[in-house]
Amino acid sequence: MDLQEIFKKMNSGEVAAHSELGTRDESKQTRNFGTRINKMKTVTGINARAMVMKDVVIPFNPFTGKSDDTYNKKTPFRPILLVSQVLSGLKTAMKDNPEMKAFWEKELGITFSDGEATMEEYAAFKGMGYIKPRVMSYYTVAMNFNGAHGFPEFKVKYTVDPTELNEQGSYEYQTAPVWHKAAAFFNTMLKAEADETVQALESNASNKEAVQMARRAVFQKSPVGFVAPTNLIPFLFFPLNALPKPIEEGHYQELEAVMRFYSFTDKWMTALKEAMKDPVYDEDMDFFDFTIKTPSSQDQMSNGKVYTDEDANALYQAMTISNTDGRLSLHGGVTNDGSKSVRNEECYASIYAAARAYFLASQEASATEDGETFEKIMAASSRFRPISQAMANFLPACNDVFTGSFASSKYFTAEVKRGHSEFYTLMNPKNAMCLADADEDELEAAASAQRQGLSDLIADANGTTGVQTADSDVLGVQPGALEELDLADG
């Protein structure tokens, strides 16, 4: 299909243009695609351009101007295409739909030109909040059983089906899956420990950062976390001092070789907010143009030692992400590889052509269940696996961790035992003997009491207590704390 045909099918409803991550079972997204997009490693000497992709995100049906069952705030119109393709496609649809054109001209306060989308039209969509950076949000559950019962020795995140979550991005406790009840059981005990730890530190006048780190360290003892969004940011990645290798026409899949992704941490926030706010930093319709830098292997750390690739945490702290200097920018700038200078409009022309073909093919593939879409490939490349793959030995592993680290703890109280009696006995049926002195009414009352503070417990354990979420709407990410960087593999 070409772009025009895709938009005809979007208009008729034959092709849905919203994020697959929010509407389809994750288990269908990670099979048979392999790791094709690499994570950017946090190493010395990075001096590179990051071309962060943009999305058009419209919380209603763009062809009618009204919210419906297909396109709404929960499942917005969000094609995987480049922004220029989406806006041009909408303009093409308007030619046969004068009511649609009238709606959008009134909505945006502009008169559409003939032909391809213009930067003025782009600015109007952006001004109404319909342009976001492309941030891939996965609902995940973190588990760390330290090798018990065949689980990995390290923390692993498993994806859950987002359609099973409530409006708060969690589960209703009465119908919650076993992993949610496990998280509630372990984290209830850890909250008591965390509160006691914080109180002791604050009484000794410890600084805020030390208190937060200590609290986080306590909650990290849980073998099972609550479901939370994991946000990754994909981008095209090119050294600034080298000419990009051209991609031949018809070989658009080679674009994956220059794709990277990274945890969406606060390092991205300043550059993104500047680009979203100030047009001087936003001169390209399809990509935000950022520069990523890390210290070189000759630079010294504060302890006098030079940076090495093994100093991932120190390198991350020193890493900068900024809007690219105009002399090097995608438009108006040049690339100099030491032997010659080439205008960036020229040397990146084949990259843009490949990107248009790549995302057009991805949008077309989304019409078939087994299609190789960008979102599916990203899910596989992130090494997330469906939580169903963790269930075979889940309860025995929970029981091992409980008996080894929690059973003798002073925080494992009678209230915890009775309030979480369902999971306590699921984990090990022999535990039912420990509850023989309580009748059903007592157990239900205890469970009800534990559920009263569950939302606060989830926020506390996920580190989202008091987190400001104003940027979540502006940047189009799932509300919550910014991603905590996992430096295990870069």
Q: Single out the residue of 244, 183, 235 nearest to residue 423, CA to CA.
A: 183
Q: Which residue has the higher pLDDT, 471 or 146?
A: 146
Task: Quote the DSSP letter at residue 471.
Answer: H
Please tell me the predicted confidence (pLDDT) of residue 17: 85
Residue type, position 481, single letter:
A
How far is C-alpha 364 from the chain's CA centre?
23
| Other residues' Cβ atoms within 10 Å of the Cβ of residue 463 | 17
What does the pLDDT look like over 396-424, one tens digit per residue?
A: 999 999 999 999 999 999 999 999 999 99
Global pTM reads 0.86
Task: Measure the CA angle with vertex 237, ends 158 and 243; round to 5°.
Answer: 160
**CA separation for the pair 262, 481 (Å, rounded):** 16
Using 50, 70 and 90 to split pLDDT, how confident is the model at 30? Answer: very low
Residue 26: band (very low, low, confident or very high) from pLDDT cuts 50, 70, 90: very low
Q: Which residues on adjacent β-strands are paired with residue 232?
A: 136, 263
Give the percent of the chain with pLDDT over 70: 92
- Whether the per-residue pLDDT at 468 is higher than 70: the answer is no
Mind giving me the DSSP string for 385-440?
EEGGGG-TTHHHHHHHHIIIIITT-TT--HHHHHHTHHHHHHH-GGGGGGGTTS-H
Question: Is a pLDDT exceeding 50 seen at residue 481?
Answer: no
Instruction: Provide mean pLDDT across the span 340-351.
Output: 96
Max mean pLDDT among 30-34, 370-374, 423-427, 470-474 falls in 423-427
Query: Could you identify the residue written with the tokens 């480049």?
Result: 82
Please count the residues of the chain: 490
Residue (of 442, 261, 244, 275) closest to 352 by Cα position: 244
Q: Which amino acid is at 476?
A: G
Q: Is the dihedral of CA 325, 329, 333, 339 positive or negative?
A: positive
List residues bridging with 185 in a β-sheet: none
pLDDT at residue number 472: 60
- Alpha-carbon distance of 31 to 389, in angstroms, equals 12
Helix, strand, or coil (residue 20): helix
